[in-house]
Amino acid sequence: MSDSKHIETQAIHSGRINDEQFGSLATPLYQTSTFIFDNAQQGADRFAGEAEGYIYSRLGNPTTRQLEMRVAAMEGMDDAAATATGMGAVSGALLANLSCGDHLISSKAVYGCSFALMNHQLTRWGIEVSFVDMANPAEIEAAIKPNTKVIFLETPVNPNLAVYDLSVIGQIAQKHNIISVVDNTFLTPVLQQPKKYGIDIVVHSATKYLNGHGDVVAGIICGSNEMIMNIKMTVLKDIGATMSPHDAWLIMRGLKTLPIRMERHCSNAEKIAEFLESHENVSHVYYPGLKSHPGHKFIGTQMKAAGGVIAFEINSDLAGGGDFINRMQLFSIAVSLGDAESLIQHPASMTHSPYTQEERLAAGISDSLIRISVGLENVDDLIADLSQSLALIK
């Protein structure tokens, strides 16, 4: 059953480790920091890589391993590494493949902490970083240098929902022997599988849709066996950004309903985006599910659907935007996404505050931009909540 290519089945069965002793249906939770060796030689053999088995949960755990195998199967990748946070996944993927003197190319708009890692931290360590418009292949080509090692991007982009052509970017990376890394958090493998388009590494903030219940902070890196082993045995092992078995257990419980949840997230978001686009107090809506969005052409090919995140601008100033958010009743003011609850936030002052104002504007993140994560509530109730607050905009 774990070999099924249907993602709904993979989300429940892939990577399953049978409990031969007790026959537990639910995944056993190995809530342990270390593992007992039968004898000293066995311990030595495991440390030397000459014998299979677990040593210490920072280096591997049966519960965490099952999660890794499941997400890897869903992404169509060979293997995966579970990390403590989404930023642990981004950091692991980049640090394992970059050294002093190397060059990284990134899309201009990315999650604020990904931007801070690249623009504020990697540059301190002698790594060059260029931010380009990934919608323009010529701009990517022009940024490539002899020392370019990695291309990093999100699609759709956080927070303005720009969509980039993964097939084109994958071809550019392969042509120049550059490692490509895509953050697939917004769509999940249910809606998009970057591996199909030549992408080498896929990262997720598993905090978001993969878990889906707002009670875990975690990340996942998917790639080839060789790449994942390198990431695990260098950056993750030595920095220690690895996932706890309890968090892995919770995410696996969430994964079982991921395909069903994504259907509701998408259907709710499509109706809300259409409502916002027609409202007189909304100046612009950024959602690939709308025919007016430049990324709509990728629906049905690169993307199965547009996801559950919407960005929009209202006809008000910064203070008015704050008032609009504060009037919301069902949308909680919070900076995550992918939960059952609908969330609302202001990127310029919250998730993307590591950008300067000039950097935000260059990345297409205006001061009036609002981002919502559409949850699983009744869509009519959500529209009514947005309507009551929009009606009071002056």
152-192 pLDDT per residue, tens: 999 999 888 999 999 999 999 999 999 999 999 999 999 99
Q: How confident is the model at residue 4 (pLDDT cuts 50, 70, 90)?
A: confident
Q: What angle do CA 343, 348, 352 make, to 5 degrees?
A: 85
- The string of pLDDT tens digits covering residues 88-102 is 999 999 999 999 999
CA distances from 244 to 80, 100, 177, 312 (A): 15, 31, 34, 36
What are the residue ranges of CATH 3.40.640.10 in the chain?
7-255
Span of 196-200, 280-284, 305-309, 316-320 with lowest mean pLDDT: 316-320
- Average pLDDT over every residue of 67-88: 97
Single pTM value for the model: 0.94
Instruction: Identify the CATH class of 7-255.
Output: alpha beta
Residue 162 CA to residue 300 CA, distance in Å, equals: 16
DSSP for residue 382: H
Please report which confidence band the pLDDT of residue 290 belongs to, taking 50, 70 and 90 as the band edges: very high
Element (H, E) at 359: helix 357-362
The predicted model gives 68-81 an average pLDDT of 98
Q: Where in the chain is the domain with CATH 3.90.1150.10?
A: 259-390
Average pLDDT over all residues of the chain: 94
pLDDT over 90 at 257, yes or no? yes
For residue 69, is pLDDT > 60?
yes
Catalytic residue numbers read 58, 111, 183, 208
3-class SS of residue 384: helix
Residue 1: the pLDDT is 40
Place of tokens 């969430």: 254
Taking each helix axis from N to C end, the angle separating 379-390 and 258-277, rounded to the nearest 10 degrees, works out to 30
- pLDDT reported for residue 361: 75
Are 73 and 202 in contact by the 8 Å Cβ rule? The answer is no
Q: Mean pLDDT across the stretch 216-221? A: 98
Measure the CA–CA gap between 77 and 262, rounded to whole angstroms. Answer: 21
CATH number of 259-390: 3.90.1150.10
**How many percent of the chain have pLDDT more than 70?**
99
Amino acid letter, 29: L
Q: Which of 113, 144, 116 is nearest to 130 (CA)?
A: 144
